[in-house]
């Protein structure tokens, strides 16, 4: 299991999906494709409350910031357990490589 990011932003994309966003300075030199491969198809979210959730990944978008950091946005299905995802939670990859 590899740490992907600390969630810095959570917003509703539409009625069926939410987006979580964050950064990881260890990923700044990786390509978007390499970051997507590291994240894989399922993540584990460690909430500040101690709750741990395994959540399927619908999509991953990666963009470059003006400061040269990779901004990572993960699209998740908007199911009841996912709506409890909050800023400050940590995201871990469950896949070794896709």
Q: Spell out the domain ranges in the chain.
A: 2-93
pLDDT at 96: 58
Per residue of the chain (98 residues), what is the pLDDT tens digit? 889 999 999 988 888 889 999 999 999 999 999 999 999 999 999 999 898 999 999 999 999 998 889 999 999 987 755 667 888 999 999 875 44
pLDDT at 34: 96
pLDDT at 82: 65
**Cα separation, 15 vs 26, whole angstroms:** 33
Between the alpha carbon of residue 72 and those of residues 8, 51, 66, 80, 85, the distances in Å are 10, 22, 14, 23, 16
Fold of 2-93: Elongation Factor Tu (Ef-tu); domain 3 (2.40.30)
């Amino acid at each position: 299991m590899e740490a992907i990011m600390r969630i810095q932003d959570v917003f509703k994309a539409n009625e069926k999906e939410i987006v979580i966003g964050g950064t990881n300075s260890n990923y700044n030199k990786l390509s978007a494709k390499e970051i997507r491969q590291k994240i894989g198809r399922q993540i584990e979210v460690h909430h500040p409350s101690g709750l741990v959730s395994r959540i399927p990944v619908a999509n991953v978008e990666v963009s470059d910031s003006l400061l040269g950091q990779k901004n990572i946005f993960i699209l998740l299905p908007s199911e009841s357990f996912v709506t409890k995802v909050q800023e400050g939670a940590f995201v871990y990859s469950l896949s070794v490589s896709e």
